[in-house]
Amino acid sequence: MFTEFCEQLSIWAIPAVLLIVPVVGYFRHVNVYEAFVDGATEGFYTAIRIMPFLVAMMVAVNIFRVSGALDVCVESAKPMLTLLGVPPDVVPLAMMRPLSGTGSLGLATELLNTHGPDSMIGRIASTILGSTDTTFYILTVYFGAVGISKPRYSVCVGLLGDMIGFLGSIYICQQLFK
């Protein structure tokens, strides 16, 4: 019963929003179409403004991966993480996740194909993807979009959150899926 309700709700959610927004705009005397066009125009200029930041980030991530620096970092961190009970196979995912969503998704897909989605490594990899974020990508895009050039504590706080999400993912998966 509840599952059917959720399925119907998910089917009708977007059409309902597409109907409700113009109706509310009409009653508030807002020209919805003009507001939409203005927002789309602003979004286009924002996309153009952040394009150099995106290109720089993608080039940096690719250089990091292709140069072998990711492999060196992973190999140097493996002994310490193994002592903490962290599976060495998920370390590259943890290191790539703050840099690139696409790169980390590729690594997670590789882990799922190698170990299986129901394996401990597959579950940890999936949980890592859900509990961490692409910190450097976010900082690059959003700070670049609004013109912030000095991120201050944002990098440290974002990476700390990623580290907590990574370690928390491992701990929770080890507790739930023993």
pLDDT digits (tens, 9 = 90+) for 26-38: 999 999 999 999 9
Does residue 16 fall inside a structural domain? no
**Rounded alpha-carbon distances, angstroms, from residue 88 to 10, 43, 75, 81, 113:** 38, 41, 9, 7, 16
Domain tally, the chain: 1
Does residue 4 fall inside a structural domain? no
What does the pLDDT look like over 126-174, one tens digit per residue?
A: 999 999 999 988 888 888 778 787 888 998 999 999 999 999 999 999 9
Does residue 120 fall inside a structural domain? yes
pLDDT higher than threshold 80 for residue 53: no
Query: What sign does the dihedral 36-37-40-45 (CA atoms) show?
Result: negative
Does residue 10 fall inside a structural domain? no
Lowest mean pLDDT among 81-85, 111-115, 164-168: 81-85
Q: Determine the pLDDT at residue 24.
A: 93
Does residue 117 fall inside a structural domain? yes
Does residue 111 fall inside a structural domain? yes
Does residue 81 fall inside a structural domain? yes
Per the structure, the complete domain to which residue 124 belongs is given by 52-176
Does residue 32 fall inside a structural domain? no
